């Protein structure tokens, strides 16, 4: 496990030093949330009703923007070949890189979401549920996105292809994430069931994604 943590911390340090990953995602998140009210109009009641959906869609698009960074740099400089032949199983390598990507990209988006919710007149009662659903759902976005990133390793400028591949997989996370927050705002549906489904989606993706992504990486390295 020391090799696992060392790899994870290495990716976090590289992401922080190089910049562009989390900062770019949060910047894009801010731009999208700032522009959406201009298109919807100045109706504060309407903004308050649709704020959970707008925030979740903006977060999803921000995650898509950074997916190709999970493996691409290590694939280009040969580090991924060394990791694939090293003592650490490739599935654990994938998990370490996915967790590092979530810490440097997904977590900053979750922290920024309640602040940006103020711009959309988000109901104060929804701030905590919004944060909880995004904490539970963003790992699933990273895990599922890693599959697309691994499949398109050998493709030049594969960012758009990754987005097209993983977008259908993101739809259930989006539906239950928004549904859980709307249950708190509008009622009378309870918050618990959609939130538990969201956690289940994350756990399922955490089991399936490392195996699928590792197989795709082996295929591209061969």
pLDDT tens-place string over residues 66-78: 887 788 778 877 8
3-class SS of residue 70: coil
DSSP string across 75-98: HHTTHHHHHHHSSS-HHHHHHHHH
* pLDDT over threshold 80, residue 168: yes
- What is the pTM (predicted TM-score) of this model? 0.87
CB distance 142 to 65 below 8 Å: no
Average pLDDT of the chain is 85
Residues 1-55 pLDDT 10s = 688 888 888 888 887 776 656 678 888 888 888 888 787 777 778 888 888 888 9
pLDDT at 21: 61
Mean pLDDT computed over 156-168:
77
pLDDT level of residue 83 (50, 70, 90 thresholds): confident
pLDDT level of residue 81 (50, 70, 90 thresholds): confident
pLDDT at 13: 85
- Report in angstroms the alpha-carbon separations of 5 from 38, 47, 185, 210: 44, 42, 40, 16
pLDDT at 133: 93
């Amino acid at each position: 496990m020391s090799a696992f943590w060392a790899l994870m911390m290495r990716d976090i340090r590289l992401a922080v030093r190089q910049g562009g990953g989390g900062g770019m995602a949060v910047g894009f998140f801010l731009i999208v949330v700032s522009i959406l009210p201009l298109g919807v109009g100045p109706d504060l009641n309407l903004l308050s009703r649709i704020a959970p959906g707008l925030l979740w869609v903006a977060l999803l698009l921000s995650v898509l923007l950074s997916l190709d960074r999970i493996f691409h740099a290590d694939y280009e400089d040969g580090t991924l070949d060394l990791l694939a032949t090293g003592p650490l199983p490739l599935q654990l390598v994938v998990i370490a890189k996915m967790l590092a990507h979530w810490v440097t990209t997904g977590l900053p988006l979750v922290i920024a979401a309640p602040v940006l919710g103020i711009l959309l007149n988000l109901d104060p009662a929804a701030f905590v549920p919004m944060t909880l659903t995004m904490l539970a759902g963003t790992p699933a976005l990273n895990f599922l996105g890693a599959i697309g990133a691994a499949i398109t390793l050998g493709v030049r400028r594969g960012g758009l292809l990754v987005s097209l591949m993983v977008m259908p997989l993101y739809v259930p996370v989006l539906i239950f994430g928004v549904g859980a927050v709307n249950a708190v705002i509008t009622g009378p549906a309870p918050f618990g069931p959609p939130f538990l489904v969201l956690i289940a989606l994350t756990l399922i993706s955490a089991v399936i994604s490392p195996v699928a992504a590792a197989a795709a990486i082996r295929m591209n390295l061969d």
